[in-house]
């Protein structure tokens, strides 16, 4: 989503209203997800790539979110993972939603998935709500409002070195077909940190950086709905979000580097070092 001029920035009152509407939608979608999670037999489908799944919960949760947003904000546009665009995707106010980030986890009853609802204002991530229905954790933020978990203020960690850090990352669906698959980075940073986790839900990865449970996150091959909400929450919690090389973050790039701020340059430099090292893709493993 490219940035474009905006006729008028939303007021603090408007943002607060938008935040409450997004919260209503996230909690309602979360209730649907919890309703279905113990009864998914025959209701899981593949989108065609290994591990890229969709369930009845994804579809029903997305429909509920769209219904709530359209009821309260009929002039706003929507980009939804499962059903696509509603209205003009270049509109000043564009909601970017993932009804169930971490569907593969959900399908396996692994408790690491979430609803993610972000608002772009003239292409800029401005508001985010992430709800983890497994643990009943609600992360929220809007530009200038700060970030919260279950209505309590959150801040990023103060970890200052990679050697002391706990990081998180993920692997894209095309990892079997490309050498740009994050394997080298994962192995290198596992050896140079206190550990690297692989959660399987970008929205929660970002929320955990925001609340200090993790110190940094990087990943490639992501979609706008994976990131739109989480980047706002990290920034409002005092963290930094950028491209791998610390240039400005671009939502459409599919790549993100998000840290507590102290680790932005060290992690960027580590990624660059690994990417500059020759490496042969181990096709014999597949």
pLDDT tens digits for range 205-250: 999 999 999 999 999 999 999 999 999 999 999 999 999 999 999 9
Q: Which residue has the higher pLDDT, 19 or 47?
A: 19
- The total of other beta-carbon atoms located within 10 Å of residue 205's CB is 33
**Domain co-membership, 174 together with 86:** no
Query: Looking at 128, 153, 178, which one is the last position of a domain?
Result: 153
Q: Is residue 2 packed enough to be buried (19+ CB in 10 Å), middle (13-18) or exposed (0-12)?
A: exposed
Report whether pLDDT(181) > 60. Answer: yes
| E strands present in 51-177 | 53-55, 77-80, 84-86, 93-101, 114-121, 124-132, 137-142, 146-149, 152-153, 167-169
Q: Which residues span the domain enclosing 236?
A: 162-275
**Domain co-membership, 166 together with 125:** no
Query: Looking at 103, 131, 153, which one is the last position of a domain?
Result: 153
Number of domains comprising the chain: 2
Report if residue 2 sits inside a domain.
Answer: no
Which residues contact residue 162 at a Cβ distance below 8 angstroms, ignoring those fewer than 6 apart?
A: 189, 192, 193, 263, 266, 267, 270
Q: How confident is the model at residue 55 (pLDDT cuts 50, 70, 90)?
A: confident
- For residue 53 the two structure tokens come to 């799944």
**Domain co-membership, 79 together with 201:** no
Report if residue 101 sits inside a domain.
Answer: yes
**Domain co-membership, 212 together with 182:** yes
Q: Is residue 73 packed enough to be buried (19+ CB in 10 Å), middle (13-18) or exposed (0-12)?
A: middle
Report whether pLDDT(52) > 70. Answer: no
**Domain co-membership, 105 together with 172:** no
* DSSP assignment of 179-244: S-SSHHHHHHHHHHSS-EEE-S-HHHHHHHHHTTS-SEEEESS--HHHHHHHHHHHHHTT-EEE-T
Report if residue 110 sits inside a domain.
Answer: yes
**Domain co-membership, 149 together with 167:** no
**Domain co-membership, 99 together with 207:** no
**Domain co-membership, 113 together with 246:** no
**Domain co-membership, 73 together with 127:** yes
Rounded Cα gap, residues 140 and 148, in angstroms: 5
Report if residue 49 sits inside a domain.
Answer: yes
Place of tokens 């399908």: 107
**Domain co-membership, 128 together with 216:** no
pLDDT at position 50: 61
DSSP state of 54: E
CATH number of the domain where residue 42 is located = 3.30.540.10
- Express as a percent the part of the chain with pLDDT over 70: 88
Report if residue 68 sits inside a domain.
Answer: yes
**Domain co-membership, 57 together with 126:** yes
Q: Which of 169-173, 212-216, 240-244, 266-270 has the lowest mean pLDDT?
A: 169-173
Query: pTM score, two decimals?
Result: 0.91
Report if residue 3 sits inside a domain.
Answer: no
CATH number of the domain where residue 194 is located = 3.40.190.80
- For residue 44 the two structure tokens come to 């899981």
Query: Looking at 153, 181, 199, which one is the last position of a domain?
Result: 153
**Domain co-membership, 140 together with 175:** no
Q: Which of 43-52, 54-63, 188-197 has the lowest mean pLDDT?
A: 43-52
pLDDT at position 179: 63
């Amino acid at each position: 989503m490219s940035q474009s001029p905006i006729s008028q920035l939303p007021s603090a009152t408007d943002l607060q209203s938008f935040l409450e509407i997004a919260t209503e939608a996230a909690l309602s979608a979360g209730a649907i997800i919890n309703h279905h999670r113990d009864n998914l037999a025959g209701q899981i489908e593949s989108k065609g790539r290994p591990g890229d799944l969709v369930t009845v919960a994804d579809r029903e949760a997305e429909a509920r979110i769209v219904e709530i947003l359209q009821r309260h904000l009929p002039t706003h546009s929507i980009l939804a993972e499962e059903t696509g665009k509603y209205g003009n995707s270049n509109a000043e106010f564009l909601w970017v939603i993932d009804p169930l980030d971490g569907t593969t986890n959900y399908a396996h009853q692994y408790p690491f998935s979430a609803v993610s609802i972000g608002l772009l204002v003239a292409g800029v991530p401005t508001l985010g709500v992430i709800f983890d229905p497994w643990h009943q954790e609600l992360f929220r933020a809007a530009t200038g409002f700060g970030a919260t978990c279950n209505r309590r203020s959150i801040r990023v960690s103060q970890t200052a070195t990679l050697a002391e850090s706990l990081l998180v990352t993920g692997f894209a669906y095309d990892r079997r077909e490309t050498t740009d698959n994050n394997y080298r980075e994962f192995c290198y940073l596992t050896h140079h940190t206190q550990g690297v986790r692989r959660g399987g839900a970008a929205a929660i990865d970002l929320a955990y950086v925001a609340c200090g449970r993790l110190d940094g996150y990087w990943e490639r091959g992501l979609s706008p709905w994976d990131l739109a909400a989480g980047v706002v929450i990290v920034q409002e919690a005092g963290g930094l979000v950028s491209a791998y090389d610390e240039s400005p973050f671009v939502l459409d790039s599919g790549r993100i580097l998000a840290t507590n701020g102290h680790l932005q340059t060290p992690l960027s430099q580590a990624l660059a070092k690994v990417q500059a090292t020759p490496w042969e893709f181990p096709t014999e493993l597949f």
